[in-house]
Amino acid sequence: MDVAQLRAHIDDLQRTLAKKVSEQRAYFQDQLSQLGGYVSKKTTAAVKAATPKNGRAGKRAKAKPKYQSKKDKSLKWSGRGMTPVWMREEMKDTKLTKDSFLIK
């Protein structure tokens, strides 16, 4: 084969490949469009199932502080979660308890 024949054969193969790619693309786009309606119906049903009936988003209100530091009055704690470091340090080596820090 000379160069001209090889170039013609390569061009023919490229045209055949481009034709096959466009056929496959059209097929998959058709399949995807059919699935699009199916997926959107399923998604709508899933969203409705996951949404709470009473409309609450599930967030809690910010808790009001129950405890206050004896040394620094700006340090406060609501009582939720782990005991804060400042409270642990103030209770260490003393007879103070959690109830000692209650805000009255």
Give Dmax (Cα) for the chain: 100
| pLDDT recorded at residue 52 | 63
DSSP letters spanning 10-30: HHHHHHHHHHHHHHHHHHHHH
C-alpha distances in angstroms, 41 versus 10, 28, 31, 33, 38? 46, 20, 16, 13, 5
Distance of CA 58 to the CA centre of its chain: 16
Q: Which of 96, 97, 69 is nearest to 84 (CA)?
A: 69
Instruction: Give the global pTM.
Output: 0.44
Model confidence at 10, in pLDDT bands (50, 70, 90)? very high
Pair 101, 89: CB distance under 8 Å: no
Instruction: For residue range 48-102, list pLDDT tens digits in order.
Output: 666 666 656 677 788 999 999 999 999 999 999 999 999 999 999 889 999 999 9
Eight-state DSSP code of residue 62: P
Q: Decide: helix, strand or coil at residue 38.
A: helix
Instruction: For residue range 16-59, list pLDDT tens digits in order.
Output: 999 999 999 999 988 888 877 666 666 666 666 666 666 566 77
Between 55 and 5, whose confidence is greater?
Answer: 5
Residue that the structure tokens 């620094």 belong to: 72
